[in-house]
Amino acid sequence: MFINGEWIFRNDLEVFNPYNLEVIGYIPSLSRKEVKEAISIAQEHKDTMKELSPSQRYSILMNIAREIQRRKEELAKIISLDAGKPIRQSIIEVDRSIGVFKLAAFYAKEMRGETIPLEDGIILTKREPVGLIGAITPFNFPLNLVAHKVAPAIATGNVVVLHPSSKAPMVAIELTKIIESILKRKNIPLGVFHLLTGRGDIVGDEIVRNEKVNMVSFTGSVEVGESITRNAGFKKITLELGGNNPTIVLRDADIEMAAKSTVKGKFLNAGQVCISVGKVLVEEEVADRFIERVVEETKKLKVGNPLIRETDVGPLITPESAERVESLIKQGLEEGGKLLYGGKREGNIVYPTVMEVDADNILCEVEVFGPVLPIVRVENIEEAIEISNNTIYGLHAGIFTKDINKAFKIADKLEYGGVVINNSPTFRVDNMPFGGIKKSGLGREGVKYAVEEMTEIKTIIIKNIR
C-alpha cells in the first residue's frame, strides 16, 4: 500500500464505520509476494536508518509529533469513524500519540551504554538497532499502539514494515502520509518505512515468518500471539496480548472511588481495551453498597454515535464481535449469572451490562472484549487472590483499599505484569513499562522499554591500555 515510496491503491477490502456499517474506504489486500518484496526493499535500507545521527532521528520524531498535533481533530475523527471510539476518547488517543513521538525523540539521544573496568583496559557497551522490525497492530488503539512501535523503532534507527489491523486501518494510512512527507523533507530514502495493508493471516503471517525480519513487535489477541511464537523462527518477538483483569475491592476501600473508577475502566472504548476490568472481586461486607453505586454510575453512561461529543459508549468493532459478546452474556446467565443492568444488543451496540456471577462463570474466565462487567462476592482477601491468579492471563490487576501495607502485600502475591492500587486496572501512561506475564505477553512496551527491546547490546572490549 505504501511500498518503497509508492502508494498502491486497490479496492480489495472494504473498510466499515462500525456504528452504521457504511463503507468509509477501501484498502489493498496485499499478496504474500508483495509483502516479500516490501520486506526485501526494507532490508536494503537498514544501513540508512542505522547511520542517521541521534539529532536526525530526534528531528524526524519531533516533526511527526508536530504534524499529528496540527491535524489532531481530523485524526481523532478518523479514529472515531473507523474504530467506533467515542470522539472524546479518540482525542485523548491522539494526544497520547503526540507524547509517544516526543518521548521517543528524547530517547533517540539517550541510547546509553555502560562501562566495565578491566585490569588493563575497559569494556564498553553500546545499543545498536535490531535492523528490520515488523510491527503488527490491533484495531482498538489504531494510532497510539502504532505509535508505540513506530516511534521507538525510528528512535533506535530501525527500518519498519507496519501491518495495521484491517478492521481499522485508516489512521495508520494518515500517519504514513505524515511520515512520508517528513522523510521527503529530510531527503531520507522512503524505503525505510512501509505500510502493508491486507489480511492478517497473509500480510501479518508473512512478516512473522520472513527470515529477513529481525524482530516482530505484535499487539493483539492471545490466539495470534501464540501462532507467532510457533512461526517466528529465530527472531526477536514482543507480544502485547489480552487479559481478564481482576479488580479487588476490599472492605476498607473508598467505595465511591472504587465504583466510579471501575465503571470508567470497564466501559472505556466499549470494553475493547486490553486492560479493561475483566471482573470485580468485592468483599461481601461492602458488596451491596458497591454494586448499587456501580449500577447507578453505569446508568449515567450515554450510548450511541461515537461522533457525538456526549457519547461514552459506542459500537463494537464488527457485527461478529457484538454477536459474540451477546452470546457470552447469554452463556453467563445460563451459568447462573444475575443481570443487574443492560444485557441488550442493537446492531453493533451492546448496552453497558452489569452482572453478578460466581467465580467460575464464563465471563470471569475469557477476555470478553465488550461492555460487560461481572461482579463476584468474595469472603476474604485470600479468596480474591486465589481467583485472580487462577487464569491463563496476567496483564493488569487493580486493588482498592485504604491500607497501603495490605495493598503492597496483595500486589506481591498477584501474578500480573502490572498492579494498580486505588484505580481500576485500566490505567496506563506511555512512559511506564507495560506488558503481561503468562499468556498476556512477552516483553515490555513504554518507550524506554521498547527502546531496549528494539536494540541489541554490542560489547566493545579495549585491552592492553598501559
Choose which of 67, 82, 93, 240 interacts with ligand NAP (CB under 6 A): 240
Assigned C-alpha cell, 313: 459508549
> Which residue, 63 or 210, has its beta carbon nearer to ligand NAP?
210
For residue 267, the surrounding DSSP H or E stretch is: helix 255-267
Q: Which residue, among 454, 278, 304, 447, has the nearest Cα to 371 in the 3D structure?
A: 278
Smaller CB separation from ligand NAP, 236 or 377: 236
**Cβ-based nearer residue to ligand NAP, 277 or 295:** 277
Q: Which of 86, 131, 220, 332 binds ligand NAP (CB under 6 A)?
A: 220
Distance CA 198, CA 248 (A): 41
**Which CB, 240 or 297, lies closer to ligand NAP?**
240
Strands 245-249 and 277-283: parallel
Contact call for residue 227 and ligand NAP (CB under 6 A): yes
Q: Are 293 and 253 in contact (CB under 8 A)?
A: no
- 149 binds ligand NAP per the rule CB under 6 A: no
Q: Residue 342 CB, nearest distance to ligand NAP (Å)?
A: 21
- Angle, CA of 9, 170 and 348, to the nearest 5°: 120
Q: How far apart are CA 276 and CA 350, in angstroms?
A: 16
Element (H, E) at 261: helix 255-267
The residue among 367 and 430 lying less far from ligand NAP, judged by its C-beta, is 367
Any contact of residue 439 with ligand NAP (CB under 6 A)?
no
Region from 49-57, 67-75, 240-248, 457-465 binding ligand NAP, contact rule CB under 6 A: 240-248
Establish whether 240 is a catalytic residue: yes
What is the C-alpha to C-alpha distance for residues 395 and 426, in angstroms, rounded to an integer?
10
Spatial CA neighbour of 332 closest among 295, 294, 370: 370
- Give min distance, CB of 392 to ligand NAP, in A: 12
Give the Cβ contact number of residue 164 at 10 Å.
Answer: 29
Which residue type does 462 have? I
Binding mask 269-308 toward ligand NAP (x if CB under 6 A, else -) reads -----x----------------------------------
Order of strands across the sheet that contains 6-7: 6-7, 2-3, 193-195, 159-163, 132-136, 215-219, 236-240, 441-442
Is 217 a binder of ligand NAP (CB under 6 A)? no
User: Closest approach of Cβ 46 to ligand NAP, in Å?
Assistant: 22
Stretch that binds ligand NAP, among 30-38, 135-143, 326-334, 403-411 (CB under 6 A): 135-143
From the list 67, 240, 283, 326, the catalytic residue is 240
Q: How far is CA 2 from CA 65, 192, 208, in A?
A: 20, 11, 19
Residue 356, Cβ neighbours under 10 Å: how many? 19
**Sequence-ordered alpha helix ranges (H) in 369-426:** 381-389, 404-413
Q: Say how many residues touch ligand NAP, by CB under 6 A.
A: 30
Name the active-site residue from 67, 93, 206, 274: 274
Active site residue 364: no
The reply on whether position 221 binds ligand NAP by CB under 6 A is: yes
Verify binding: residue 167, ligand NAP, rule CB under 6 A.
Answer: yes
Q: Of these, 16, 58, 139, 193, which contacts ligand NAP (CB under 6 A)?
A: 139
Q: Is 266 helix (H, G, I), strand (E, B) or coil?
A: helix
Cell of 355: 452482572
Asked if 163 is part of the footprint of ligand NAP (rule: CB under 6 A), the reply reads yes
Whichever of 45 and 439 has its CB closer to ligand NAP, that residue is 439
Binding segment for ligand NAP (CB under 6 A), chosen from 42-50, 159-167, 173-181, 256-264, is: 159-167
Q: What is the DSSP string of 407-423?
A: HHHHHHH--SSEEEESS
368 to 427, contacts with ligand NAP by CB under 6 A? 369, 395
CA 230/CA 242 separation, integer angstroms: 18
Helix (H) or strand (E) holding 461: strand 455-462
455 part of the interface to ligand NAP, by CB under 6 A: no
| Residue among 142 and 306 whose Cβ is closer to ligand NAP | 142
Q: Does 15 bind ligand NAP (CB under 6 A)?
A: no
Q: Which of 205, 297, 326, 430 binds ligand NAP (CB under 6 A)?
A: 205
Q: Any idea which residues carry the catalytic annotation?
A: 240, 274
- List of residues contacting ligand NAP (CB under 6 A): 136-141, 145, 163, 165-167, 199-201, 204-205, 208, 219-221, 224, 227, 240-242, 274, 367, 369, 395, 441
